[in-house]
Structure 1
Amino acid sequence: MRALDSVSWTIVIVLALTLGLAPFTPEPHIWEKLKMLAAGELVRAVDWFDLLLHGVPWVVLGLKAVRTLRPDA
């Protein structure tokens, strides 16, 4: 948890908004991959890698938010 605490909010938010959403047009890449996952179309390895790459910043943001709101967790 120290590693999560040591990362600044600014860096986490910038990563989520840039890497987490890029490319921005025609729709954010993470959104496309989540729709593919829900439809059962996420079958290629590169698609799973994309989901991981674009999803990690959002997971870190969520974990950091939970850690901040519940410091005892």
Structure 2
Amino acid sequence: MKALDSISWVTIVALCVLLGGAPFVPEPHLLEKLRMLVQGTLSQPIDIFDLLMHGAPFLLLFAKIARSMSR
């Protein structure tokens, strides 16, 4: 938990915006991969890796929110 506490809010939000939105055109990878997950077409290993990579900052953000609310 100390590692999570040491990451600043600004850093996590910046990661969410930059990595979560990249590439911005034609559509963010995270939205594309989530759409594929909902449609059931997320089957290629590279697509699963993309979902995890672009979604990781949001997992950190949710963990940090949960940690700050539990104090």
TM-score w.r.t. the length of structure 2 is 0.94
Partner of 1:42: 42
Q: Identity rate of aligned residues, in percent?
A: 49
- The amino acid across from 2:4 in the alignment is L
Partner of 2:16: 16
Paired with 1:39 and 1:63, the residues of 2 have a C-alpha distance of 27
Unaligned runs of 5+ in 2: none
Runs of 4+ in 1 over 3 A off after TM superposition: none
Partner of 1:62: 62
Paired with 1:25 and 1:15, the residues of 2 have a C-alpha distance of 17
- The amino acid across from 2:56 in the alignment is V
Partner of 1:5: 5
Unaligned runs of 5+ in 1: none
- The amino acid across from 1:30 in the alignment is L
CA-atom RMSD, angstroms? Answer: 0.8
1:46, distance to aligned residue in structure 2 (A): 0.3
Paired with 1:5 and 1:27, the residues of 2 have a C-alpha distance of 32
Aligned length: 71
Paired with 1:41 and 1:19, the residues of 2 have a C-alpha distance of 22
